[in-house]
Chains A and B, each alone.
Chain A
Amino acid sequence: MNVGLEHYLVVSGILFCLGLAGVIVRRNLLVMYMGLELMLNAANLALVAFSRFATNNLDGQVFVFFVITVAAAEVSVGLALIVALYRKRQSAHVEDLTTMKL
């Protein structure tokens, strides 16, 4: 059986849902962040697969390059926020960070 676009898209969809489940179910900020990384990687996989099978140019791969860079910037800012929150609250657990809850 030939491996085509749909195989990669199925893998990408399942990986995206794993990351989403991590963000929703886990309550630790760092593990939620790792779930976000999984979701970004799943989107990257779908973009590269479309770039290879559906179009005849490299635009998808350039987009993945941008996504990786933005993700690196996002991770550094997010982890700095987590460290700042931990200094204030001594916790990296979302259930302890409910100051803005009504």
Chain B
Amino acid sequence: MHEILFYTFALLTLVFGFLVIANPFSLNPVTSAMFLVLTIVSLAGLFVLLHAYFLAAVQILVYAGAVMVLFLFVIMLLDLKAEERRRLKAFGVVAGLSSVGAILAIFLVTLARSPLPAATPALEGGTIPLGKLLFSNYVLPFEILSVLLLVAMVGVILLSKKDLK
């Protein structure tokens, strides 16, 4: 059962991820954003298979909820009709894909050659142990993160002013 679910979610993640960057039917950013939502939901399924339940919930809430709403909002705000008609340069596509393929080959060869630890999964990523860890060992990074969010908020308000000095 676990194997079937893993292969289903992995295949869905990769297919939707491919459709985000290279949809054969349309180059419209809105369809890319929709497929990104589906990729993120399938990834949340993989997180559940890894027993990271809290992270799966956060993934759906933060990414599929907040981040994607932001993306779609910006896409609707900008008028991107003229962008769709542009063609990609063949040289750029070939050079980019070959370099990315080389990086993928390096990944897979390294993975095949490195000794991985035997699977002894006994870990549960529920909310309670994660919250305890977050507020004991990681309380300083947690507070720094809240400052980071504040800085991002102030920066965004400044950037979106009409007359940017």
Contacts and interface: CB of A to CB of B under 8 A. Distances in A.
Given A4-B119, A56-B123, A27 B86 contact: yes
Interface string A35-71: 1011001001100110111101111011011101111
A34 B50 contact: no
Contacts of A93: 83, 86
The binding surface of chain B is classed by DSSP as helix
Contact of A58 (B33, B47, B129): B129
A79 B78 CA distance: 11
B67 A37 contact: yes
How extensive is the interface on chain B, given as a class?
35 or more
How extensive is the interface on chain A, given as a class?
35 or more
Contacts of A51: 50, 52, 123, 125
Given A31-B32, A48-B50, A52-B51, A38 B121 contact: no
A62 B84 CA distance: 40
A53 B117 contact: yes
The binding surface of chain A is classed by DSSP as helix
A58 B88 CA distance: 43
A48 B49 CA distance: 11
A8 B152 CA distance: 32
B97 A21 contact: yes
Contact of B117 (A5, A68, A76): A5
Contacts of A45: 43, 46-47
A92 B58 contact: no
- Give 8 closest A-B pairs by Cβ, nearest first: A22-B21, A24-B96, A73-B152, A13-B107, A80-B159, A17-B104, A4-B119, A80-B156
